[in-house]
Amino acid sequence: MSQIEIKNILGKYLPEGSVDICALWITEKSIHLKITRGRATKYGDYKPLGPGKGHHISVNHDLNPYSFLITFIHEVAHLHCFNMYGQRHDPHGREWKNEFGYLLGYFIQQNVFPQDMEAVLKEYLKNPSASSCSDPDLHRILKKYDQSLKSGVIHLEELPRDSLFYLHQSKSGQLFKKGKRLRTRFHCLELNSGREYLVNALSEVVPAANSH
- Correct CATH for 154-210 of 2.30.30, 3.30.1490, 2.40.160, 2.70.98: 2.30.30
Dmax of the chain from CA atoms?
54
Residue 149: strand, helix, or coil: coil
Question: Which residue from 53, 100, 67, 68 is spatially nearest to 81, judged by alpha carbons?
Answer: 100
pLDDT tens-digit readout, 5-37: 999 999 999 999 999 999 999 999 999 999 998
pLDDT tens-digit readout, 65-120: 999 999 999 999 999 999 999 988 888 999 999 999 999 999 999 999 999 999 99
Domain map (residue ranges) of the chain: 3-144, 154-210
What's the pTM value of the predicted model, to 2 decimals? Answer: 0.74
Beta pairing class for 164-167 and 55-60: unpaired
Q: Which of 38-47, 76-85, 111-120, 157-166 has the lowest mean pLDDT?
A: 38-47
Neighbouring CB atoms inside 10 A of 202's CB total: 20
Query: How far from each other are the two terminal CA atoms of the chain, in whole angstroms?
Result: 42
